């Protein structure tokens, strides 16, 4: 009876992350998020990652003050600093880092380059798949 291999962050991450420029208006970022059915976008300046803009950032920082219509930019409300994890890290390590830093998303780094994003949902799904594999043995 072989034990299934341990999944890594790279196994469950989203590779095709979407970004907006820090000077883009929040309304434009909201459109990108809704058009792509995603809950966050990477915020960049000249293609260099600065932070992440999440649904929660918009709900907590923009909507209560009705700033969406006032031209506020993604860079003004993004979460920072970016928290990252190596692509070969285990799901347990990702879960621990998310808990320690109180975040729901981590940028995934391989050889100094951003290769994806991993979310709490990805970690939970990967963990469940591992448990189901073990249970079926």
> What domains can be seen in the chain, in order of their start residue?
9-135 (3.10.580.10)
> What pLDDT does 1 receive?
44
Name the token pair of 87: 């692509």
Query: Do 134 and 31 form a contact (C-beta atoms < 8 A)?
Result: no
Report residue 51's pLDDT band, with 50, 70 and 90 as the boundaries.
very high
Tell me, yes or no, if the pTM score tops 0.85: no
Please state the rounded mean pLDDT for residues 34-63: 90
CA distance 125 to 1: 23
Please state the rounded mean pLDDT for residues 49-59: 91
Could you tell me which residues are beta bridge partners of residue 116?
108
Please state the rounded mean pLDDT for residues 50-56: 92
With vertex at residue 59, the alpha carbon angle to CA 56 and CA 63, rounded to the nearest 5 degrees, is 160
> What pLDDT does 4 receive?
52
Q: How many residues are there in the chain?
A: 137
> What pLDDT does 130 receive?
81
pLDDT at 111 over 70: yes
CA distance 131 to 129: 6
Query: Do 84 and 108 form a contact (C-beta atoms < 8 A)?
Result: yes
Please state the rounded mean pLDDT for residues 25-32: 92
pLDDT at 129 over 60: yes
Q: Which residue in 17, 27, 38, 127 sits closest to 68, CA to CA?
A: 27
Query: Do 97 and 121 form a contact (C-beta atoms < 8 A)?
Result: no
> What pLDDT does 68 receive?
62
- Could you tell me the maximum CA-CA distance found in the chain, to the nearest angstrom? 61
CA distance 54 to 41: 7
pLDDT at 124 over 70: yes
């Amino acid at each position: 009876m072989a034990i299934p291999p341990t999944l890594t962050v790279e196994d469950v991450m989203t590779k095709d992350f979407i970004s907006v420029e820090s000077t883009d208006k929040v309304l434009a970022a909201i459109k990108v998020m809704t058009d792509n059915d995603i809950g966050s976008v990477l915020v960049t300046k000249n293609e260099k990652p600065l932070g992440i803009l999440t649904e929660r950032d918009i709900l907590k920082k923009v909507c209560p003050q009705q700033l969406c219509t006032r031209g506020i930019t993604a860079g003004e409300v993004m979460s920072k600093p970016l928290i990252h994890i190596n692509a070969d890290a285990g799901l347990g390590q990702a879960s621990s880092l998310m808990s320690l830093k109180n975040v729901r998303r981590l940028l995934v780094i391989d050889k100094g380059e951003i290769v994806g994003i991993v979310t709490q949902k990805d970690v939970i799904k990967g963990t469940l798949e591992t448990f189901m594999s073990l249970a079926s043995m």
